[in-house]
Amino acid sequence: MRLHISLSDELVAELDRRVGRRARSSFIAATLRHALDDRRRWDEIESVMGAVADEGHEWDRDPAAWVSAQRRGDQRRVG
């Protein structure tokens, strides 16, 4: 699909310096894909904010010890 967008001369000049005129579309598409993926991930993060209670967890007393125990119990752990 074709899309018409307006960019400043300076932005296009830098784009051309970095990727070349023939790679503009693929670079813009990859950059847009990356930006949309970031937005999607932030939407997911924000949708679950507050889902975990502030207290009542097995790690409350000593979080570092809990993390260490979790790591030691992981059979995939190396070292």
Residue 16, Cα to own-chain centre: how many angstroms? Answer: 26
pTM score above 0.75: no
Q: How far apart, in whole angstroms, are the C-alpha atoms of residue 18 and residue 12?
A: 10
Amino acid at 74: D
Let me know: does 46 contact 37? Beta carbons within 8 Å: no
Nearest alpha carbon to residue 14 among 3, 30, 27:
27
DSSP structure class, residue 22: G
For the chain, 79 residues long, the average pLDDT of each consecutive 10-residue run is: 96 98 97 98 93 87 92 77
Residue-level pLDDT at 79? 62
Provide the pLDDT for residue 28: 97
